[in-house]
Amino acid sequence: MLRLFRRGLFAAALAMLALPAAAQERSITVASTTSTEQSGLFRHILPIFTRETGINVRVVALGTGQALDVGRRGDADVVFVHDRAAEQRFVQEGFGLERRHVMFNDFVIIGPAADPAKVAGLRDTAAALRRISAANAPFVSRGDRSGTHAAELRLWQQASVDPTQGRGQWYREVGQGMGPALNTAAAQNAYILADRGTWLSFRNRQDLKVLVEGDPRLFNQYGVMVVNPQRHPHVKQADAQRFTDWLVSPAGQEAIAGYTINGEQLFFPNARQPEPVS
């Protein structure tokens, strides 16, 4: 009898020791873009979310196309990206639940201060890209199926330019995220399309500067979706929904707005506002 009592006490002690570990295991995986990671946004907002909810967030930072593929495979609970057309397909194909607006910033064309293509100050992105192409000026493309890459390809199409004709010459695809692509542009004194958030947090600027901005076509919207648990029953739907609800809540929107570098805001919450018409 005494032995059984001791065994019971031992089992109870083990269970009590296991409780904190179990609590710490409450977590979700978010597949997101390199821009949200490399800009430092997640380092700012995720600790706030975890303090409020007790839910830890593991981020897998990839290009938008790859992040959506992670969601399709069920290897994430949430997808948080910036290619609205691809996001809508993700939902229509049954891989994601409701898509929700979260925030926006803009793209900019970065280039060398010498500006051999003479695009500085233009607000017409199509005209700027045509000048870059005509000058055979080095242009670095992410080439990684990211939201930024998709936006770049749309902009070339609007400019009626096929940049692949210059592949291996002036048009250089690196197949990497925003930070490494910016490093390549800095090393090669090349033009590049970048999201403003990553640019503001980028340190290795060398001779690069913002040359083209302000075109409505450079608007950059971010959206978030819970991965559909009917496709992948292991998805932590409740905690994933808690995260997406928090992002669009006043608390989450305030956290996003509060992230600045040198006093400049990187992302602008718009969960409850219509996006500008471009």
Beta 27-33 vs 78-81: how paired, if at all? parallel
Tens of pLDDT, residue by residue over 101-114, are 999 999 999 999 99
Beta 208-212 vs 171-173: how paired, if at all? unpaired
Q: Does the pLDDT of residue 277 top 50, yes or no?
A: no
Closest CA relative to residue 178, chosen from 152, 203, 148, 155 = 148
In a domain, 274, yes or no: no
Same domain, 243 and 174: no
C-beta separation of 31 from 78 below 8 A: yes
Q: Domain count of the chain?
A: 2
| Cα gap 132→180, rounded to integer Å | 21
In the listed set 201, 218, 235, which residue is the last one of a domain according to the structure?
Answer: 218
| Cα gap 217→107, rounded to integer Å | 9
C-beta separation of 43 from 201 below 8 A: no
Same domain, 95 and 227: yes
Same domain, 162 and 230: no
Confidence of residue 274 (pLDDT cuts 50, 70, 90): low
In the listed set 202, 218, 234, which residue is the last one of a domain according to the structure?
Answer: 218
CATH number of the domain within which 155 lies = 3.40.190.10
- pLDDT of 272 reads 85
- pLDDT of 275 reads 57
Same domain, 63 and 188: no
Residue that the structure tokens 């821009």 belong to: 35
Same domain, 203 and 229: no
Same domain, 261 and 165: no
Same domain, 209 and 225: no
C-beta separation of 183 from 204 below 8 A: yes
In a domain, 275, yes or no: no
Amino acid at 113: A
- pLDDT of 148 reads 94
- pLDDT of 19 reads 45
Instruction: Determine which of 2-6, 65-69, 145-149, 261-265 has the lowest per-residue pLDDT on average.
Output: 2-6
Tens of pLDDT, residue by residue over 51-71, are 999 999 999 999 999 999 999
Confidence of residue 22 (pLDDT cuts 50, 70, 90): very low
Tens of pLDDT, residue by residue over 115-135, are 999 999 999 999 999 999 999
Amino acid at 179: G
Same domain, 72 and 112: no
C-beta separation of 208 from 111 below 8 A: yes
Whole-model pTM: value is: 0.84
In a domain, 278, yes or no: no
Instruction: Determine which of 11-15, 45-49, 68-72 has the lowest per-residue pLDDT on average.
Output: 11-15
Tens of pLDDT, residue by residue over 197-215, are 999 989 899 999 999 999 9
In a domain, 276, yes or no: no
Q: What range does the domain containing 98 cover?
A: 2-104+220-269
Tens of pLDDT, residue by residue over 65-92, are 999 999 999 999 999 999 999 999 999 9
In a domain, 81, yes or no: yes
Give the torsion sign (CA, 199, 268, 89, 60): positive
Residues contacting residue 56 through CB under 8 Å, at least 6 positions apart: 24, 26, 27, 28, 50
Question: Which DSSP helix (H) or strand (E) runs through 27?
Answer: strand 27-33
Same domain, 91 and 117: no
- pLDDT of 18 reads 47
- Tell me the average pLDDT across 231-255: 97
- Tell me the average pLDDT across 214-227: 97
